[in-house]
Structure 1
Amino acid sequence: MPRKRSSKFIFYDVPDAGEVLENPRPPSPTTHRHTEYSSHNGHVTASTTYYCVDVGHPSKKSRITHDSEDFPHSSAELDLDTHDFFEDMAAEGADSQYFLEALDDDFHAPRRRTAGDHPLREWISEIPTYLDELIRLEGRCGMTTDLCAKCDAAGVLYRCEDCHDLSLYCGDCTQRCHTRNPLHRIYKWVKTHFRRAVLRDVGVRIQLGHPLGVHCACPMRAANDFIIIDVGGIHEVALDFCGCETAEAKTTQLLRSRLMPATSVYPKSAATFRVLESFHLLSNQSKVSAFEYYNTLARHTCNTGINPPKDRYVTFLRLIRMWRHLKLLKRSGRGHDPAGVEATMEGSCAVLCPACPHPGKNLPDDWESTLPSKRWLYSLFVGLDANFRMKRKKVSSDKADPGLNHGCAYFVETKKYQQFIEEFSDLQFEETMAHMKGSHGTAASGIGCVECTRHDMKRPCSIGDLQKGERIPPVLVLFHTTLHANGPAIFGTVSHNTSPTFDWRHDTITFLIPKFHLPAHQGSCQTSYSFNLTINVGRTDGEAVERGWAAVNPFASSTKEMGPGARRDILDDVFGDYNWRKVCLLPKSLLSKIKEAVDERNEQMVSFQEFNAALPSESTALWKQAVEDWEGDPRKPNPFVATQPSITLASARLRLAEEEAVAMAAGQSMTVHDKASSSYMVAAGIEFEEQQRRLRSDVASLGQHATDLQRAKVQERRNMLQRQLDGWSEIQQLYMPGVIPLRGRVTSSQGAAPILAENYPLLLPSAAVSHITCDPRLLEHEWQLRYGQAHENLDDLRRHLRLRTHMYKYKDRFIRGQRENTRARTTIAAVEAKVSADASRYRMAYAALEALAPPLLKTGWRVAIRPLCPEDVKGFEEDANISRDRVKLSWIWKTPRMGCADTAMAGGEDINTDESEGTQEALRIEWCKARARAARWWEECRLLREEMRRVMAFHAYQGMWWEEQVDRREDIDSDLAEGLFSYAYRQAEIRRDMQEFCRKTWAGVQEYTRIADAMIGVEDDSVMPL
């Protein structure tokens, strides 16, 4: 037997009874071991878990923790496959209980994974067994007699691949068993193996027009090669039509057998409803194409290519297109309309958004007379956008392929759409839209869309082809048609990438820019067209139309080769499926949104209230009035916009020159050089500092294989800079007499090598003040210049970061191909270099300010100037405090842009004075933004509760609507009447089930919001407490 493992003992000193220790130790923790054993195929495994029970002092509660110090290998695995030990014990006749006791005594195994944690690893040992069972099915599985399992007849035996039974039957029994399943796949035994056969060979015939088992008195045989496409493959079957006097048309007989005929005259092919339903759902869910699906069925029938089925790919395309259109009409209730399919109205077959306002369906009867403080809840939010991936080549035409839907769903009616475009073609718009070069050779360069931006659903009659880029007229046409087809009496918000192009002043329509696209616009647009600053929009981002393209783009590769009608029909179906999935997800999505919104609302409101309480009430009252005035009339001054002019290095130099002119006039100038003043000397030194930085960057970029011409140019620049530095140093010596010895000490410490121009120590006042005495006026000059330089560099950094973000998004959306991507990356690299240069300049300015602040007694200047860490140099997807208010952004986006008043403060006035215009403006803007954040979350909570009510009301309305369709048609046979009756009630039940599911899902929302309202002291949420 193997040697037993040594036990691990731990000894503790326990005092005798009654003994009192001077420093009593707390009772030692007690370790508990929990071991589980399992036996599988002779392999015994053990898993052990250790728990440490800390007794502690009597006054403290004990707690159980994993002891990681006494048992450092608690998570390791231990191999317990000790075969010698168990074989010896098994030879002695020990039972399983003895095995477990022996393991418990001898093994202190750490915790290991159980077999259930790694099922695939455990299955590896079972691979031979699984493989043997698969191969076993290739034989007769024990049915070795040559007799039929049912009638004991001898002869050729068959086995069905799709039946659960593995027995072998003769041809007659196989034929009788498969009268109900004529599309099963069978194999016949040919002494050595199974060979593929078809049910037609054993006499199975499909009889149409009669119940199962009833023979037709006058059957009409179909073509010998009648093809039926099913989920199991492509089958050649024997089929008989009914030829009786009362027989229905052949297509009707096929349809009543749940077979879709390929043609209306002499059909020779059909597809089962099952395969059409399967592909219909699979194509929308997994984006598989009809070509791939049909080839899968063909390979399922014959995977060798030796005896392939007859090609019915084109037939399958036609069948699935017919199926999509029929399902569209059926689900929209067109079969219940006495006027027939011809009376289908535009957009009537679209799946509507239950959460959007629909007058007469989910809005209160008195919604038009509600107070303005509540009427905004019934507004509609739509977004406009274009997708250039959904282009179509110049193949076919509307005459050859007119389509089936004709504007009844999401695509607009083609003829009216073209007429509208021609009417609007004379309108002149600013050229700010996308005009794609890739539109050459295409009949449509993409599609335009108008959809609900709150719930990401396509609206009726909201899709249309684009002729050349994202031109305004098609977008306007789509906007008009969708409102005409399905629009509320009042409107709300329209989001578009180029909303400033519209700039309409309308009492009921507000144009805004989606949050993701907002940073690419200029500063005035970022405040005038921001969702986060606009009243009565909640947390709408306007980007839903962009997100929706992700579900459509996979169809681009196939639809671009289609004719116009086929493309419109399939995309109508895709959009309908997309909308329906969104409808089914509304209970979950709205619940998660309301939970998030309530928490964020409370947090933002508490944050705003604390901020508001710390400010003078007189100022906040004025700011609140300004915000409310601007919200009521956007033409009034925008309180979110800074009015103080930005400070730059150039403006700082201008101010110093003006101050110097005043000093010279008063005879107080410190000028000691006839051509260069003290401020000029400092400003020139800062310019030389920038030239040195650029020269160092260019030298570093030369590389090892630079040409002579490149090195010559760099050397010429170096020589020119050195000559300028020599002249400037002479002027510097006049204003800073001790700088020459200091520079000598600095250069001598760098070794005997000559000092290159890019490394020449400038020793401006900020660098020399800690070593030599400098005139305070020099320090003040550099302070003002550095202060302006820091702000200017921050502005440049923000601008280049915005540009970089825009470049990346543009590249991801529009750039395709290696050549274009290489060019785009080159451009982005140039922008990255500018970002690095801005950061470097800012750090130099900040270091100088930090050195100058102590001798000048400057305080409070770090309000807008902070250390710039590498993690701070990052862009944004949406502008700070305007387009996004929950993401942690770098401080560079939160710093107020200081104005001329701050330049005065930087010049020596009290920078902490609350009366300064720059500080007051910065506080006003931050207060307005904090209020806007809280207001938007408060609006979001109200809007979500209203949307939940609308969803339940819409489901109830649709349930009643379907019940009203039950007996609309008259003079029809009883079977059709029963079908209409059954389908209408089934749809009504589905809507009521959805309504009930929403009610159960949102059952706790009212109580949850009530508690949250009480936490922040809100009694009536209809009045915003801000």
Structure 2
Amino acid sequence: MVKHRTSVRSTKHRVCVRRRTIGGATKVSVLRNVSHPPVTVDVTPVTTTSSLDEHSEAEPSSSCMSETAYTKAKKKELRAWDSLKEDMLRVSYESSAPSTNICALCKEHAEYRCLECSSTNMFCETCITKTHRNSLHLPEKWNKTLYVTSPLELALRLPGEHCSHAVYARDMKIFVNTGQLCSFSVTLCTCEPETCTLLRYGIWPATPERPQTAFSIALLELFHYLSMECQVSVEGFCNMLRWKNNLSLSEVNMLYRALVGESISQFRHHHFRCRSLSGLCPSFDDGTTCPVCPKSNGNLIVTMDANFGLVRKRSSGSSLVEPLHGNRMFVREEDVQEYLSSHPDGSKPNEDCSNFKAGNLLRSQKNQQKLDVTGVFGVSCRHEIPLVFLNMTQGERLAYPMYIIKELLTRNQGKNLNLHVIYDIACVLSSHMHKKAEAMQQGVSLAVPAFHVFGHKLQCQVLYSTRRLKGFGLTDGEGMERLWSFLRRFARITKEMSPSHRLDLLTEALLYYGRRKTADIEVQLHHRWEKAEKVANLAKEELAAVLKEAPASVSEHTVQRWMETENEVARLTVLKTKIADSVPKWKRVYVTTLIELQQLKSCDHDSAVADEKKWTGNCCQIV
């Protein structure tokens, strides 16, 4: 312990303070104009070992101080789980045996249970038979050692009003709600097709005539939503059921063969018609119309783009029938091919703006030999609801967006709608429309997405940015990129499918995506409105600050005039570039060569001879 000795001596006009430490020099301090009586004080600082220990115990360590509230809550939760693990395992073991032997309904002796009905109730044989009439549940029986599959007959019976018809029974293999394969005795009637009777039981047949295998509709609905949300293939779904229910290899093969055929495609289409009610009234919304976009007298903002990941192999076969969804999302390929043949592309996008590959006819020719479809071109509204799509077979030609625009104008004809189109190479498309389809350009405005525009030249950023054009608002134009991120995950499934099945699955995926977007669209609109208000207020404040701090007198009218001048300069720059590009390349090379030849002739003859000798000498050295 270190001790200090401090003495204070006071005189009339000053105080002298001497401080001595063991092993150290004496320090003297003088305080003037102070009148205090002399005093001597022993000062012992609180720096002992025991005091340091107490101080360290009182304050939390640095590691404890660095813990956040989330870390503390997480550790508390983990400790709670650790304390419950053994108890939960014990309860799971105890639940493997019946907790009671009294029937939950008639209070008689019970030895049956149904996990889909209740995990604790027990039933007698009479009650389990009554409660599970025409049910796809699988009761289990306790054999004093473990639960085994119930030996009771699984049957599906028609109601009493069918007794006057020719009723017959048939044994069928049915995959129930849990994915297990069971044998059922199914009663059918000649008054209606067998598939309709099976549908009344809540099962879907694997074949349209004399089906031997069927599926629970709940099981197929599970597969449908797993395939839409998680892109689960038929093979993956079958393997999942195999390991979940310990199915044999033959049962898995039976399930796969039944699902990979027409049955699942027909079920998807049937499920869509039931949900959308399109079979009751054709005027009902089938998911292809945005509920928010104006239907007349307004601005219809859409965004277009191509996806080269959604291909189809030529070796995947052909289709005998048209897609079940028809032209609900994808237009007829015959119409597209006819339009392509009558509208050849004359633009060269790679030379027009920043070497963008969009619109390049040669982009996908390297891999075209093995592909029947090289990609998908589509359009969605500003709220990301899918509208129109088509298959690409010749790269991303400019004729594809031209056809989409033509299709949109045809569908909205007579509705007084101004079409605002956002496309990655709107600058090139605008030039192409001026050359090939001047009449179509009336009522159509083109812009480049907010993210892609920074890859364009400066004049394109000025003329085609959504932030600089009227009528586009705060729409970023990147909605198709977000849609592709969802749809691209189906590529590994659709590339091996037949044309009709592929279009049906992609249509289902697009309808599902649109359904997701419309489910909470009121929340999205509210957020966008709040964002628009914040951006508008911030822009006004920043503009006012700039005008106030300007060294000269500047008004909003002056800023508007500057913007108009900037747009005019950008247009003139683009026009000069087009005029220069309009001269054929061979003419420019020819004129340049003539100028160089004239310069050579005007040179001094001696210098030309000297250069020739020097050139000849260099050639000899090389030889």
Fold in common (TM above 0.5) = yes
How far residue 490 of structure 1 moved from its aligned partner, in angstroms, is 2.7
Asked if the contact 1:450–1:479 (Cα under 8 Å) also holds between the matched residues in 2, the reply is no
SS for the counterpart of 2:520 is helix
What is the alpha-carbon distance in structure 2 between the residues aligned to residue 522 and residue 129 of structure 1? 68
Asked if the contact 2:301–2:421 (Cα under 8 Å) also holds between the matched residues in 1, the reply is yes
What is the alpha-carbon distance in structure 2 between the residues aligned to residue 149 and residue 332 of structure 1? 40
SS for the counterpart of 1:271 is strand
Match of 2:184 in 1: 237
Residues 1:513 and 1:121: Cα distance change in structure 2 (over 3 Å): same
Aligned with residue 163 of structure 1, among 117, 123, 132: 117
Match of 2:304 in 1: 384
Match of 1:411 in 2: 330
Give the letter for the 1:316 counterpart: L
Match of 2:488 in 1: 553
Give the letter for the 1:498 counterpart: I
Residues 1:116 and 1:619: Cα distance change in structure 2 (over 3 Å): closer
SS for the counterpart of 1:118 is helix
Query: Could you list the per-position Cα deviations for residues 96-121 of structure 1 after superposition, in whole angstroms to 9, with x for gaps in the alignment?
Result: xxxxxxxxxxxxxxx99988962232
Query: Could you list the per-position Cα deviations for residues 940-977 of structure 1 after superposition, in whole angstroms to 9, with x for gaps in the alignment?
Result: xxxxxxxxxxxxxxxxxxxxxxxxxxxxxxxxxxxxxx
How far residue 265 of structure 1 moved from its aligned partner, in angstroms, is 1.8
How far residue 544 of structure 1 moved from its aligned partner, in angstroms, is 1.4
How far residue 124 of structure 1 moved from its aligned partner, in angstroms, is 1.1
What is the alpha-carbon distance in structure 2 between the residues aligned to residue 70 and residue 128 of structure 1? 35
What is the alpha-carbon distance in structure 1 between the residues aligned to residue 305 and residue 71 of structure 2? 53
What is the alpha-carbon distance in structure 2 between the residues aligned to residue 630 and residue 307 of structure 1? 73
How far residue 416 of structure 1 moved from its aligned partner, in angstroms, is 2.3
Give the letter for the 1:595 counterpart: E
Query: Could you list the per-position Cα deviations for residues 510-543 of structure 1 after superposition, in whole angstroms to 9, with x for gaps in the alignment?
Result: 2222222222222332222222222332222221
2:282 corresponds to 1:356: no
Match of 2:51 in 1: none
What is the alpha-carbon distance in structure 2 between the residues aligned to residue 112 and residue 540 of structure 1? 37
2:257 corresponds to 1:314: yes
What is the alpha-carbon distance in structure 2 between the residues aligned to residue 293 and residue 306 of structure 1? 14
How far residue 383 of structure 1 moved from its aligned partner, in angstroms, is 1.6
Query: Could you list the per-position Cα deviations for residues 63-95 of structure 1 after superposition, in whole angstroms to 9, with x for gaps in the alignment?
Result: xxxxx99963299879xxxxxxxxxxxxxxxxx
2:374 corresponds to 1:445: yes
2:536 corresponds to 1:607: no
Residues 1:523 and 1:190: Cα distance change in structure 2 (over 3 Å): same
2:260 corresponds to 1:324: no
Match of 1:458 in 2: 386
2:460 corresponds to 1:525: yes
Residues 1:294 and 1:215: Cα distance change in structure 2 (over 3 Å): farther
2:534 corresponds to 1:625: no
Match of 1:123 in 2: 81
What is the alpha-carbon distance in structure 1 between the residues aligned to residue 105 and residue 532 of structure 2? 68
What is the alpha-carbon distance in structure 1 between the residues aligned to residue 249 and residue 423 of structure 2? 57
2:149 corresponds to 1:220: no
Task: Report percent identity of matched pairs.
Answer: 24
Match of 1:831 in 2: none
Residues 1:548 and 1:241: Cα distance change in structure 2 (over 3 Å): same
How far residue 565 of structure 1 moved from its aligned partner, in angstroms, is 0.7
Match of 1:73 in 2: 60
Residues 1:551 and 1:265: Cα distance change in structure 2 (over 3 Å): same
Query: Could you list the per-position Cα deviations for residues 325-378 of structure 1 after superposition, in whole angstroms to 9, with x for gaps in the alignment?
Result: 2233345543224xxxxxx79x9734322221112xxxxxxx4xxxxxxxxxx2
SS for the counterpart of 1:492 is strand
Match of 1:542 in 2: 477
TM-score normalised by the chain length of structure 2: 0.70
Residues 1:208 and 1:431: Cα distance change in structure 2 (over 3 Å): farther
Q: Relative contact order (C-alpha < 8 Å, sep 6+): which is higher?
A: 1
SS for the counterpart of 1:439 is coil
How far residue 322 of structure 1 moved from its aligned partner, in angstroms, is 1.5
Asked if the contact 1:216–1:242 (Cα under 8 Å) also holds between the matched residues in 2, the reply is no
Residues 1:632 and 1:428: Cα distance change in structure 2 (over 3 Å): closer
Give the letter for the 2:95 counterpart: L
Match of 2:578 in 1: none
How far residue 587 of structure 1 moved from its aligned partner, in angstroms, is 1.6
Match of 1:428 in 2: 346
Give the letter for the 1:441 counterpart: K
Residues 1:112 and 1:567: Cα distance change in structure 2 (over 3 Å): closer
What is the alpha-carbon distance in structure 1 between the residues aligned to residue 263 and residue 62 of structure 2? 59
Asked if the contact 1:388–1:446 (Cα under 8 Å) also holds between the matched residues in 2, the reply is yes
Match of 2:529 in 1: 594
How far residue 138 of structure 1 moved from its aligned partner, in angstroms, is 2.4
Match of 2:227 in 1: 283
Give the letter for the 2:368 counterpart: S
What aligned pairs does 1:448-487 form with structure 2 within 5 A after superposition? 448-452=377-381, 454-459=382-387, 462-486=388-412
How far residue 507 of structure 1 moved from its aligned partner, in angstroms, is 4.3
What is the alpha-carbon distance in structure 2 between the residues aligned to residue 390 and residue 152 of structure 1? 62
What is the alpha-carbon distance in structure 2 between the residues aligned to residue 76 and residue 402 of structure 1? 68
What is the alpha-carbon distance in structure 2 between the residues aligned to residue 603 and residue 112 of structure 1? 34
SS for the counterpart of 2:174 is strand
Match of 2:145 in 1: 192
What aligned pairs does 1:680-719 form with structure 2 within 5 A after superposition? none
Query: Could you list the per-position Cα deviations for residues 870-929 of structure 1 after superposition, in whole angstroms to 9, with x for gaps in the alignment?
Result: xxxxxxxxxxxxxxxxxxxxxxxxxxxxxxxxxxxxxxxxxxxxxxxxxxxxxxxxxxxx
Asked if the contact 1:233–1:300 (Cα under 8 Å) also holds between the matched residues in 2, the reply is no
2:132 corresponds to 1:178: yes
How far residue 572 of structure 1 moved from its aligned partner, in angstroms, is 0.8
By percentage of residues, which structure has more strand? 2
Match of 1:204 in 2: 154
How far residue 278 of structure 1 moved from its aligned partner, in angstroms, is 2.6
What is the alpha-carbon distance in structure 2 between the residues aligned to residue 412 and residue 71 of structure 1? 76
Give the letter for the 2:512 counterpart: D
Aligned with residue 96 of structure 2, among 122, 138, 159: 138
What aligned pairs does 1:634-649 form with structure 2 within 5 A after superposition? 635=571
Gap runs ≥5 in structure 1: 1-67, 79-110, 338-343, 360-366, 368-377, 639-1026
Gap runs ≥5 in structure 2: 1-54, 351-358, 435-440, 575-623
